[in-house]
Amino acid sequence: MKRFRSQAKAAILSAAILPALLCNAATQESCKLTEAGIGKVSSVRDGRTLLLADGRELRLAAIEVADESRSLLQSLVGGRDVRLKQLGPQQDRYGRLVAFVYVDDSQQSIQQTMLEQGRARVSGRIGDKYCADALLRAERAARVSRLGLWADPNFAPLKSENTNQIAAARGQFALVEGKVLSVRESGATMYLNFGRRWTHDFTVTILKRHRREFVMAGVDLKRLEGHPIRVRGWIEQRSGPVIEAVAPEQIELIE
């Protein structure tokens, strides 16, 4: 009987784990990055900016960092040869190379490592759902375990009802959590309202021309009403505090 129970438990465990493994494998297979050459790190300028020996300046793609992230990045890549992979534009508006960075023969990017250690947050626009999913999982695990920056309660996601705290973060990248009270449309814009005072409470705006991108990624904006979500982006102050969402990876459903 004990043996049967052990076998049954093993079967149940396998049934639970297998879909997760298949999901991870599918995500890894679907996250397509383009090889972008190699380089040698000459110096680490800040938590996501490297100077390569050939004079190129490189910004780590897909993450936002704090000042404390520089020391970790230095320990990971300082003076080392690196492989570069890209997703989307090769340069930012300042002419810096934008890429995912890999050391030696590792299949895990430096960005993934920094997220796992709680020293970075996933940025608002990745450009690919599958790549974003993998990064968001790494961030979520570090946040739940309160690793790195997440150990500081002041670094935790802001609550949508705390409009004063959100407004104080104007011009900063932040995560905001709360329940969507209503979804409205006006002109070319959709609004996810988190309070009844639309001119005062926190709001997420999405231009209607981006709606198809959200739907294709499985985010039906109209069905978010009544659901708790986590949104990431740059805080703006209009009538009230606002985050403009231009990519589906900026919005996560909170189970």
How does pLDDT run across 114-165, given as a tens digit for each residue? Answer: 999 999 999 998 988 889 999 999 999 999 999 999 999 888 999 999 999 9
Model confidence at 7, pLDDT cuts 50, 70, 90, reads very low
User: Given a cut of 80, is residue 77 above it in pLDDT?
Assistant: yes
| Contact by Cβ (8 Å): 69, 77 | no
Average pLDDT, rounded, for the chain: 88
pLDDT at site 36? 93
Q: What is the DSSP letter of 93?
A: T
User: Given a cut of 80, is residue 18 above it in pLDDT?
Assistant: no
User: Given a cut of 60, is residue 22 above it in pLDDT?
Assistant: no
| Contact by Cβ (8 Å): 247, 124 | yes
pLDDT at site 31? 82
What number of other Cβ atoms are within 10 A of residue 89's Cβ? 10
Q: What proportion of the chain, given as a percentage, has pLDDT over 70?
A: 88
User: Given a cut of 70, is residue 9 above it in pLDDT?
Assistant: no
Model confidence at 20, pLDDT cuts 50, 70, 90, reads very low
Ordered by start, the domain boundaries in the chain are 34-149, 157-253
User: Given a cut of 70, is residue 108 above it in pLDDT?
Assistant: yes
Higher pLDDT, 24 or 151: 151
Joined tokens for residue 132? 């974003």
Q: Do domains 34-149 and 157-253 have the same CATH topology?
A: yes
User: Given a cut of 60, is residue 6 above it in pLDDT?
Assistant: no
Report the topology of domain 157-253.
OB fold (Dihydrolipoamide Acetyltransferase, E2P) (2.40.50)
Q: What would the CATH number be for the domain defined by 34-149? A: 2.40.50.90
Q: Average the pLDDT over 70-80 and give the result.
A: 96
User: Given a cut of 80, is residue 64 above it in pLDDT?
Assistant: yes
Model confidence at 37, pLDDT cuts 50, 70, 90, reads very high
What is the distance between the terminal CA atoms of the chain, rounded to a whole angstrom? Answer: 37
Higher pLDDT, 131 or 88: 131
pLDDT at site 24? 40
Q: CA 168 → CA 82, 159, 165, 241, 251, distances in Å?
A: 39, 13, 5, 9, 21
Give the E-state strand segments of the chain in sequence order: 34-46, 49-52, 57-60, 63-64, 81-86, 97-103, 121-122, 158-159, 173-179, 182-186, 189-193, 203-207, 228-237, 241-244, 251-253
